[in-house]
A and B are shown apart, each in its own frame.
Chain A
């Protein structure tokens, strides 16, 4: 069965410093992996998606994630945090059923200090 584990429930960084949000996955086959972001009172927005074409995936707003099969990880990074990055981030794996059956991690709340 597919699953994801987000290793930190809360990450706090200062503006201008790097962001690292950690995610490990478990999958019985080559997975599709996603990162979604949710700003307060907004819907979940897709940041990026991995589908085996390239291990380093670039997303919107300067975020990227690297797929490491040996470590079963898909960590999300950004070189320099901005105040507007403060939000909740979800690591997601395709459930393997019909299209759109996604399995979410518990989420990591990112706080950005001025």
Chain B
């Protein structure tokens, strides 16, 4: 069964550093998403991406965040200057765009900001 893959599974960084989280969505999917889950809190929507542009973003997704689909297979989330409160599990997801909103999620990248 096709799956969404995320790398790395765990990323440790110093506060103020830039990080890039990588995702390979399912190959024929058209919509891509990032969610995050801070320890002990709910899974939260960050951003959706379609046709090489952001479709929607949440209040969390401020100017320090950006997303990119640099080639036909990868989808990345960049955090420009990490803060302690960015420590969380980040989930990538994709969907086929048929409107049924069935998202396929990766297993996540645990980001630890020290």
Question: In the docked arrangement, what's the CA distance between A83 and B45, Å?
Answer: 31
Size class of the contact patch on chain A: 20 to 34
- Of the candidates A32, A45, A101, A104, the one whose C-beta lies within 8 Å of that of B56 is A101
In the complex, B75 has a CB within 8 A of chain A: no
* Contact mask for chain B residues 83-111; partner A; CB cutoff 8 A; 1 contact, 0 none: 00000000101010101111111111000
Q: Which of A11-19, A61-69, A73-81, A90-98 binds B?
A: A90-98
- Known contacts A98-B55, A104-B43, A105-B42: does B105 contact A32 (CB below 8 Å)? no
In the complex, B48 has a CB within 8 A of chain A: yes
- Of the candidates B45, B50, B99, B105, the one whose C-beta lies within 8 Å of that of A45 is B105
* Contact mask for chain A residues 30-51; partner B; CB cutoff 8 A; 1 contact, 0 none: 0010101000011111100101
Once the chains bind, are A102 and B91 in contact (CB under 8 Å)? no
Question: In the docked arrangement, what's the CA distance between A41 and B33, Å?
Answer: 19
Which residues of A are found within 8 Å of B33, using beta-carbon distances?
Answer: 100
Which residues of B are found within 8 Å of A43, using beta-carbon distances?
Answer: 3-4, 91, 104-108
Once the chains bind, are B56 and A97 in contact (CB under 8 Å)? yes
* Contact mask for chain A residues 14-26; partner B; CB cutoff 8 A; 1 contact, 0 none: 0000000000000
Q: Which residues of B are interface residues toward A (Cβ below 8 A)? A: 3-4, 31, 33, 35, 41-45, 48, 50, 55-56, 58, 91, 93, 95, 97, 99-108
Given contacts A43-B108, A44-B91, 12 further A-B contacts (CB under 8 A): A34-B101, A42-B107, A43-B106, A95-B45, A98-B55, A99-B101, A100-B33, A100-B48, A100-B101, A105-B42, A106-B41, A107-B43
